[in-house]
Amino acid sequence: MKKNLITSILMTLTTTLLLGIAYPLLVTGLAQLLFKDKANGQLISRDGKVVGSRIIGQAFIGPAYFHSRPSAAGNGYDAANSNGSQFGPTNQHLIDRVKADVATQQAGHPGDPVPIDLVTASASGLDPDISPAAADFQVERVARERKLSEADVSRMVREHTSSPQWGLLGEPRVNVLELNLALDARTSLH
């Protein structure tokens, strides 16, 4: 009995040291060495200040900015509450919210179909990207507010459109934060 107890304690200590300390330190060290940007959250800095992350969305509400997908995470883009709305497609609250969002979006584009990602949240509620169609839908407003030509803003959208990974995984996408930062670098809103 005593021998079994000592063996159990030693195995617990050994596996704790190996799997609870050594392995996580090794993986963290390799990640920092090989993939530093990704291991640290793909943070974006401007003028020495962190302004966001390439992989976590944030709200942009001004008319001179491209708007992100709606977020159902906490009070919006709350990484501590990453989650979709959990409302099914027949839930009246979701239907009413989407209808209201479509009406708001169509105010500037009467009769034009609204890209679905401008009125529905992603599964995580933190999606940093929109579809090229959702970006194109906003070009006119952003160009007008920034006093740029629609062709210039459309070109910037194309420059910030990422292809599917390895050419086949996922869909083309536009990172909203990166596009808005590029617009800010080009034009001043003051």
pTM over 0.85: no
Considering the domain architecture, whether residues 35 and 53 belong to the same structural domain is answered as: no
C-beta atoms surrounding 118 within 10 Å = 21
Considering the domain architecture, whether residues 172 and 114 belong to the same structural domain is answered as: yes
How confident is residue 72, by pLDDT bands cut at 50, 70 and 90?
confident
In whole angstroms, give the CA distance from residue 122 to residue 140: 25
Tokens 């479509």 correspond to: 102
Considering the domain architecture, whether residues 85 and 36 belong to the same structural domain is answered as: no
- List, in sequence order, every residue forming a beta bridge with 130; answer none if it has no partner: 174
Considering the domain architecture, whether residues 61 and 32 belong to the same structural domain is answered as: no
Considering the domain architecture, whether residues 79 and 61 belong to the same structural domain is answered as: yes
- pLDDT by residue (tens digit) across 105-124? 888 888 889 999 998 888 77
Q: For residue 22, with 0-12 CB atoms within 10 Å meaning exposed, 13-18 middle and 19 or more buried, which class applies?
A: exposed
Q: What is the pLDDT of residue 140?
A: 93
What is the domain range of residue 9?
A: 1-40
Considering the domain architecture, whether residues 27 and 71 belong to the same structural domain is answered as: no
Considering the domain architecture, whether residues 10 and 85 belong to the same structural domain is answered as: no
Residue 129 · residue 107 · CB < 8 Å:
no
Considering the domain architecture, whether residues 139 and 172 belong to the same structural domain is answered as: yes
Would you say residue 166 has pLDDT above 70? yes
